[in-house]
Amino acid sequence: MTTLYKHLQSKGYNRVRLTPINTNHFLLEAFINDICGVFILDTGASATCVDLEHTKYFHLHSQPSTEKASSASSVEMHTEMATNNMIRIGKWVAKNKSVVLFDMKAVNEALKLQENDPVHGIVGADVLKSGQAIIDYKNNWLYLKNKTAP
């Protein structure tokens, strides 16, 4: 019997390890513009986001945005948009990607209260869709398919 890994590998998928934390979120390592960061995997977030505090760290060139960031709370936050970025997760690569920037202090404070380290940002549905993501919740793997893969 073929394993999920072998099957998806034959379909052009690459996998990356997800690290579960005590808030029931997964963390993963991702590179934006060849700079490594730690991100929350959030299937409910429409866009990939970076904390405004890390704009220079990831070499992001942002412009103010009229869009407002919001979460399950009713609070709306100022955002900026950085376009034309490269995102790499494991062997999966996407170019010309936009990244939303907003103040993630509240997110990181909530993580800290639960004894977790802060994160640089959030990997959202935009990346998951373009990578045709499959999440193996049982074994803590994220599978992404490169466009150039067979």
pLDDT (0 to 100) of residue 63: 86
Q: How far apart are CA 103 and CA 70, in angstroms?
A: 11
**Above pLDDT 70, what percent of the chain?**
90
Q: Residue range 93-107: average pLDDT? A: 95
Full set of structural domains in the chain with CATH: 13-145 (2.40.70.10)
Mean pLDDT over all residues of the chain?
91
- Cβ atoms of 147 and 132 closer than 8 Å: no
pLDDT tens per residue across span 17-42: 999 999 999 999 999 999 999 999 99
Task: Name the strand (E) or helix (H) holding 5.
Answer: helix 4-10
Task: Spell 65-88 as b/e; 16+ CB within 10 A means b.
Answer: beeebeeeeeeeeebbbbeebebb
pLDDT (0 to 100) of residue 148: 58
Q: Look at phi and psi of residue 96 and say left if phi exceeds 0, alpha if psi is from -120 to 50, else beta.
A: left
Side-chain half-sphere of 105: how many Cα atoms within 13 Å? Answer: 4
pLDDT band (50, 70, 90) for residue 121:
very high
Question: What pTM was computed for the model?
Answer: 0.89
Q: How far apart are CA 38 and CA 32, in angstroms?
A: 10
Letter for the amino acid at 140?
A: N
Bridge partner residues of 144 (DSSP):
14
pLDDT band (50, 70, 90) for residue 67:
low
